[in-house]
Amino acid sequence: MINVLRRAAVDFTCDGFFYPAGTTVMANFWAVHNDPSVWPDPEKFDPGRFLNEDGSATCERPKRILSFSLGKRKCPAETQAVMVIFLYITSILQNFRVLPEDGVTIDIGDENDRLPSKTKYRLRFIPRRK
């Protein structure tokens, strides 16, 4: 993740430290993404943090995720990246039937089970049009 330096436009105080206008500042993304008061057990991979209480996927990105930076200088391609991923997956599903290998049944769980399975599956991509 690239972090852009910023310059303070006005004098300010943060956590008891005074910063005069013109001071070069940089957001500490690591600290934000690893703050245990926001993310319990921050070093543990836990996709459940991004689910609603009923287990459904949340569409809102938490304000404490800065993967595309923040403010006026945030990544200008964030929206494009999300659209490209959407179009990529949509294109695959438009052009192919995605099925498990012959003789294999994939249990997708109940409708509230949104976490991906740790089981690896081999998939077949069958063209929809010839």
Beta bridge partners of 60: none
SS3 state at 66? coil
Domain boundaries, the chain: 1-74, 77-130
The backbone region for 79, taken as left when phi is positive above 0, alpha when psi lies in -120 to 50, beta otherwise, is alpha
- Write the CB contacts of 48 (distance below 8 Å, at least 6 apart in sequence): 115
pLDDT of residue 19: 93
Question: Rounded to two decimals, what is the model's pTM?
Answer: 0.43
- Please write down the long-range contacts of 32-38, taking CB distance under 8 Å and 24 or more positions apart: 32/64, 32/66, 33/64, 33/65, 33/66, 35/64, 38/64
pLDDT of residue 87: 94
The backbone region for 91, taken as left when phi is positive above 0, alpha when psi lies in -120 to 50, beta otherwise, is alpha
pLDDT of residue 13: 93
pLDDT of residue 71: 65
Beta bridge partners of 13: 18
The C-alpha R_g of the chain, in whole angstroms, comes to: 21
Dump pLDDT digits (tens) for 73-98: 677 777 788 889 899 999 999 999 99
pLDDT of residue 35: 85
Dump pLDDT digits (tens) for 18-77: 999 999 988 787 887 888 888 888 888 877 777 778 877 766 666 666 666 666 667 777
Does the pLDDT value for residue 16 go beyond 80?
yes
**CA 128 to CA 124: how far, in whole Å?**
12
Would you say 75 is a known binding-site residue?
Answer: yes
pLDDT of residue 1: 53
SS3 state at 6? strand
